[in-house]
Amino acid sequence: MHRLVLGSVLMAGVAAAAPAQAQETVRIGLIQPLTGSVAYNGQSVVEGARLAIEEVNAAGGVLGKKIELIIEDGQCKPANSVNAVEKLVQKDKVVGLVGAFCSSATAAIMPVAQKYKIPLVTGVSSKADLTEQGNPYFFRAAETDGLMAKAFAKILAKDLKLGSVAYIGVNDDWGRGGIEEFSRDLSALGVKTVLTEYFDHGTTDFFTLLTKLRAAKPDGVFVAAETQDGSILVKQIRELGITAKVFGVGSWATADFIKLAGDAAEGIHAAVPYASTYEAPRNQAFVKKYEAKYGIKPGKYGAAGYNALNIVAAAIAGAGSTDAEAIRAALQKTRYEAPNGVYQFTGKGQAYGFDAVLVRLEKGEPKVIASAPVEATD
Amino acid sequence: MDLFLQYLANGLVIGAFYALSALGLTLIFGLMRVVNFAHGEFYMLGGVLGWFVTAHLGLNFFLGLALVAATMATLGWLVDRFLIERVRGQGEEPGILLTIGLSIFLVNATLLVVGPAPMKVAGAFAEGPVFIGPIIVTKLRLLAVAVGAAAILAAHLLIRRTRLGRAMRATFQDPMAASLAGIRTKHVYAATFALGCTLAALSGMLLASVYSAQASIGGLVSLKSFVVVILGGMGSFAGAVAGGLLLGIAEAMWGGYVATGMVDVIGFVLVILILLFRPQGIFSARAERA
């Protein structure tokens, strides 16, 4: 047993000192929830990531080698995600990590990535304080709820004529964070908060919550939820005959959400970092390729996986080696032309420069009604 | 007051759903002494198959429901004959390990075949609200409650009034005496497991038409079903109904008057209280083996 521990410590040391020298491929680890109530969204990230790697490899790979994507199921849980990272680093000897969807899971794997000195990029986790922890190996290629709220609160309050709003969010750091940010910015504009309620991941029945909502009679309902929870929620909002305007954050501007929610999706406003209907030549090309491969238009998470992997691949190419420090330095200098704008990183590793959009779901299509660049904050 | 009535109605509906989804679990435990950890996965399969037969085969809801029931009964029968039978009579632990393994297999096989996306099961008719005084429910929910009640009654009658039911009860009281009396106990075990699976799958498809079907929903369903069964008493039909309604109403009231964010806590608080003060459950089925 002692020998085993010693052996793995030695191996980890070797891996950190000279990672993957003898390997035929350059390995990148991807940690996403592949089971559980956000599994579907995690799967979208994986689809986007696979497409990105396919493109990079078709163009000759990096450092003269093909990239190999190794995918692990972190289940959005901190403990499982940490296990996944340990396995990816120790056994698979990855040179870069992408993950882990839920902010709580990402927060848990950040110190592990730092311990092994492996750069970690998240394309999804949006809790604001992740980039405030001074972890030099962590980069966030995503918007934060605060940045979204700042970009769209004013437009929402004016366009939807909001006098009072009820806030409903999934009971985790992302949901709570989203409600915090949006309620702060909307309150500053004089919009009254009449109700704030949370529900657990995987909840299927919202009638009790919505009964409360109906009694509160708000002008608008802000919802922070992912595809599965969100689609059931908006269906039940309509079933209960609530006519308040629904807007929110999450994966709303996706074909699947619209299909699941049916007529109930009509007229919903969503602040999202990405919509397939965003007008830009790069985006049209991306949508076409994605649709050809998966038979469905990309949503927020497909794009997130695509962008995160492209950023890591470009950084490895830019570093000219698989040395962690070189990759980290290259990530810092990222200038990646994504379907939705140009990604760059601040000193703290927060991405900026790309466009976020506000969409309205009309006849089964997310129609872009406003777009705004996500700006650097420090 | 209107608000209270609506909470109560919500609680009753959800409670009926809980009771329905726990029925298969309590039946298999009560009659076979098998703690079926794959219960939630049979429920999930019901929903996924329901999606398949309505969306892909284009059957109407009730025809689809019948087909799903028949398919799952066959599956349950086969699972018992080929898997459960091997660990029968060896105590409860091998059965627990077997069903946990089975649940992992079923989830991952489903993920492999249909993927993790939520699926919509087309309901029996268009969704629409129904107003009963100040209370709102929907047609599909009422239908699910009605079909659920019918399923509970049918299962009860099957066990109490039919030849097969008598054979079941005889087998589980004393397998040796039952086989001496000429009952083919192997078939009785398989029929019981098939019945439990069918009930789980029926509730899975019914509720998938109200909510949605998804490959990894099983864990949560198993958890709630265990809460219901512990509340009501392992193996008791009346207990499952009472436990389900109790849990549904408690959750609705807690969610309505306190906070919806911690509503899952309620079930476990109830379980702890029941285990402390009435460990046999509200109703206990004293079907001890000879």
Q: What is the pLDDT of residue B79?
A: 95
Q: With beta carbons under 8 A apart, name residues in chain B contacting A215.
A: 3
What would the pLDDT profile of B105-116 be if each residue is shown by its tens digit? 999 999 889 988
Q: What is the pLDDT of residue A159?
A: 86
Q: Which fold has domain A145-272+359-373?
A: Rossmann fold (3.40.50)
CATH code for the part of the protein at A2-143+281-345: 3.40.50.2300
Torsion of CA A135, A139, A145, A146, to 10 degrees: 60
What would the pLDDT profile of B260-281 be if each residue is shown by its tens digit? 777 888 888 988 998 898 888 7
CB-closest option in B211, B256, B261 to A212: B256
Contact A43 B217 (CB under 8 A): no
Q: What is the 3-state secondary structure (H, E, C) of chain B?
A: CHHHHHHHHHHHHHHHHHHHHHHHHHHHHHHHCCCCCCHHHHHHHHHHHHHHHHHHCCCCHHHHHHHHHHHHHHHHHHHHHHHHHHHCCCCHHHHHHHHHHHHHHHHHHHHHHHCCCCECCCCCCCCCEEEECCEEEEHHHHHHHHHHHHHHHHHHHHHHHCHHHHHHHHHHHCHHHHHHCCCCHHHHHHHHHHHHHHHHHHHHHHHHHHCCECHHHHHHHHHHHHHHHHHHCCCCHHHHHHHHHHHHHHHHHHHHHCCHHHHHHHHHHHHHHHHHHCCCCCCCCCCCCC
What would the pLDDT profile of A280-298 be if each residue is shown by its tens digit? 889 999 999 999 999 988 9
Which two tokens mark A372? 């705004």
Q: How far apart are CA B268 and CA B264, in angstroms?
A: 7
Q: What is the pLDDT of residue A261?
A: 87
Q: What is the pLDDT of residue B163?
A: 93
Q: With beta carbons under 8 A apart, name residues in chain B contacting A36.
A: 216
What would the pLDDT profile of B56-102 be if each residue is shown by its tens digit? 998 999 999 999 999 999 999 999 999 999 998 888 889 999 999 99
By CB atoms closer than 10 A (0-12, 13-18, 19+), residue B94 is middle
CB-closest option in A42, A199, A215 to B3: A215
Contact B118 A40 (CB under 8 A): yes
Size of interface A-B (CB pairs under 8 A): 93
Bridge-partner residues for A196, per DSSP?
A: A167
Q: How far is CA B117 from CA A37, A307, B111, B226, in A?
A: 9, 22, 9, 26
Task: Please identify which residue in the block is written with the tokens 């699941």.
Answer: A260
Give the CA radius of gyration of chain B: 19
- Sequence ranges of the domains in chain A: 2-143+281-345, 145-272+359-373
Contact A228 B212 (CB under 8 A): yes
Give A258→chain B minimum CA distance, Å: 12
Q: Are A123 and A307 in contact (CB under 8 A)?
A: yes
Contact B136 A240 (CB under 8 A): yes
In chain B, which among 180-209 make CB contacts under 8 A with chain A? 207
Would you call B250 an interface residue with chain A, using a CB distance cutoff of 8 Å? Answer: no
* ipTM of model: 0.79
Q: What is the pLDDT of residue B236?
A: 81
CB-closest option in B212, B216, B261 to A36: B216
Q: How far apart are CA A182 and CA A202, in angstroms?
A: 23
Give B278→chain A minimum CA distance, Å: 29
Residue bearing the bigger pLDDT, A66 or B236: A66
Mutate to test the interface with B, among A80, A198, A211, A212 (most CBs of B within 10 A): A211
Residue B119 CB neighbour total at 10 angstroms: 20
Would you call B120 an interface residue with chain A, using a CB distance cutoff of 8 Å? Answer: yes
Q: C-alpha angle A361/A254/A362, rounded to 5°?
A: 15
Give B8→chain A minimum CA distance, Å: 9
Q: State phi, psi for A225 to the nearest 5 degrees.
A: -155, 160
Mean pLDDT by 10 residues, chain A (378 residues): 45 45 81 84 93 94 92 92 94 92 92 94 88 91 86 88 92 87 91 92 87 91 89 89 89 83 89 88 92 91 94 92 91 91 90 90 88 77
Q: Are B192 and B185 in contact (CB under 8 A)?
A: no
* All domains of chain B in start order, with CATH: 2-117+125-277 (1.10.3470)
In this predicted structure, the answer to whether residue B288 has a pLDDT above a threshold of 70 is no
Question: By C-alpha distance, which of A314, A297, A371 is closest to A44?
Answer: A297
Q: With beta carbons under 8 A apart, name residues in chain A contacting B247.
A: none
Domains A2-143+281-345 and A145-272+359-373 share a fold: yes
Which two tokens mark B265? 């806590």
List all residues 6 or more positions away from B140 whose beta carbon is below 8 Å from its beta carbon: B123, B124, B125, B127, B209, B210
Q: Are A30 and A99 in contact (CB under 8 A)?
A: yes
- Give chain B's mean pLDDT: 88
